[in-house]
């Protein structure tokens, strides 16, 4: 993308309530830095790894009934998609695949005072193939 198209912001998939789903046909795959949030939930910068480098995430742009939506795949969503791909013997998502991600519940908080991690399932139908899988992957963070 160019300098101007990088500035175009698509809506992000949101999962506020258990049972919420993001589904559509994969239109694009990209990478972005994982954001850091302040106490009020506002973006305050980017997450840095132990090596001082930005922590990256895969962004999946989906064509949905309501238009294009970006699914940021850090954490449990990333693991759910990876496990679903492994189940059907595939290495990666491709443009044209059908992806469905559903918020299925909450795990156990990792420490006192922390929010419980969200858990997701991913279902993938590969473009032009009879391969499909639905896998539940708990958040391991």
Q: What is the reported pLDDT for 113?
A: 81
Cα–Cα distance for residue pair 106/79, rounded to 1 Å: 15
Q: Percent of the chain at pLDDT above 90?
A: 55
Cα–Cα distance for residue pair 125/127, rounded to 1 Å: 6
CA 38 centroid distance within chain: 21
| Residues linked to residue 23 through DSSP beta bridges, in sequence order | 100
DSSP readout, 36-83? Answer: EE-TTS-EEEE-B-TTSSBPEEEEEEEEETTEEEEEE--THHHHHHHH
The DSSP secondary-structure symbol of 10 reads: P
Query: What digits encode the pLDDT tens for the residues 80-128?
Result: 999 999 998 899 999 999 999 999 999 998 888 888 899 999 999 987 6
Choice among 5-14, 31-40, 85-94, 109-118 with the minimum mean pLDDT: 5-14
Would you place residue 137 in the very low, low, confident or very high pLDDT band (cuts 50, 70, 90)?
A: very low
In degrees, rounded to 5, the angle at the alpha carbon of residue 62 between the alpha carbons of residues 47 and 95 is: 100
Residue 34 pLDDT exceeds 90: no
Place of tokens 């519940």: 105
């Amino acid at each position: 993308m160019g300098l101007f198209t990088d500035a175009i912001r698509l809506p992000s998939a949101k999962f506020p309530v258990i049972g919420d789903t993001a589904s559509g046909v994969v239109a694009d795959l990209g990478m972005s830095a994982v954001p850091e949030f302040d106490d009020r939930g506002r973006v305050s910068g980017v997450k840095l790894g132990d090596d001082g480098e930005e922590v990256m995430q895969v962004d999946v742009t989906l064509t949905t009934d309501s238009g294009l939506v970006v699914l940021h795949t850090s954490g449990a969503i990333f693991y759910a998609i990876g496990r679903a791909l492994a189940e059907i013997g595939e290495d990666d998502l491709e443009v044209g695949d059908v992806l469905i991600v559903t918020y299925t519940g909450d795990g156990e908080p990792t420490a006192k005072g922390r929010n419980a991690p969200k858990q997701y399932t991913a279902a993938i139908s590969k473009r032009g193939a009879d391969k499909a899988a639905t896998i539940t992957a708990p958040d391991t963070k």
